[in-house]
Structure formats: structure tokens, C-alpha cells
Amino acid sequence: MIKLIVGLGNPGPQYEKTRHNAGFIFLDHLALSGGCSWSANAQFQAEISHYGGSNYKVMLLKPMTFMNKSGFSVGCLSRYYKIKPEEVLVAHDELELAEGVARLKKDGGHAGHNGLRDIIAQIDSRDFFRLRLGIGRPSAGKGVADYVLSRPSQDGGRIIDEMCLKMVGKIDLLISGNVSSINELV
């Protein structure tokens, strides 16, 4: 059972609604659906909220350390609350999935994603869940960094929002960690 859901992104208005902030976008939709509010926490260098369902309560975490240092917040909070890696779900942007496609995965490497790389280093484990939120790949000649740090087209933004809302609708399955059920429904 998941006890902590982490959304990856970069803080600040210049990064809002960028592809790289798909994890933040997902968590914001989740918090809104549950009537949750965010509070800044200096100890964990993050924004934190709590989300409750009929049979569970989970913490929501948005690291405010920028993507490449996301592991600091995840590691500190996990150690403080004694949350095991297998009780963590990290929502992040995924270049290898088409825009609007989401997949749930258990463990694995970082596949070049610096936020995941830092989390793995800080918690010394790969044994956590990942909600991979598809943002597609850049067109030929456009760099990956420029692509992920830019805002999608109006249609692309709508597709990413719809994907995140669809995953919010499956939150009970996500929290149960039922990988096969989620991937069958996406």
C-alpha cells in the first residue's frame, strides 16, 4: 500500500504547466479532487498535503528543490516518517510514452531522468513505484532539455491534463500498487 505520493517538477511560475512538471500537475489535480491544501515545509524543502480515501490516508509531496535535487525531500521525509521505498509512488514526466499515455511501474532504473536518479541515490533503493506520465519526444532537431522545460501546445496541455485527471480517477488502484490493473485500464 502506498503511503507517500511524490510529484516531480520545478518550482516557480516560469515552470508551471511545462512538460517536466507533469508530476506536479498530477498532484495538483489529486489535491484539488480531495479538497486538500498545500503547506510549505522548510524541513523537507517541499510542499506537503494529505489525501484521504475511504480506507487510506497518504501524504502528497512536491519537492521545491528543483528536479535534479528531488531526492533530498523524498529521502528526508521517508526517513522521518519511516516510509519504506515500496510504499512510495513517484509521478513524473516520461519521454518514452506518447503524450497522454500513462503507465504504472514498480522499480527499475532512472532511464536518464535526473529526478529519479537523485531519488534512487538519496533513498538507496530502486524499489518504489513510478507513475510514468507520457509527454512524448521532441521533434527532430529540438533538444530534450528545451522540450521538457517548455509548455506544450494548447491541445498538448489539454491532453496532459486529461491524462492526469484519468489517473486521479484511478487513485484507489494506484494506492494499492496494482500495476497490472492500472496498465490494463490506461
Question: Would you kindly state where each structural domain of the chain is located, as residue ranges?
Answer: 4-185
The topology under which CATH files domain 4-185 is Rossmann fold (3.40.50)
Q: Is 90 helix (H, G, I), strand (E, B) or coil?
A: strand
Unique residue bearing C-alpha cell 532504473? 109
Whether pLDDT at 161 is above 60: yes
pLDDT at 185 over 60: no
CB distance 102 to 171 below 8 Å: no
Q: Is the pLDDT of residue 180 over 80?
A: no
By annotation, the residues acting in catalysis are: 20
- Which pLDDT belongs to residue 108? 87
Round the average pLDDT of the chain to a whole number and report it. 93
Residue 55 pLDDT more than 90?
Answer: no
Q: Strands of 46-52's sheet, edge to edge?
A: 39-41, 46-52, 57-63, 4-7, 88-94, 129-134, 102-106
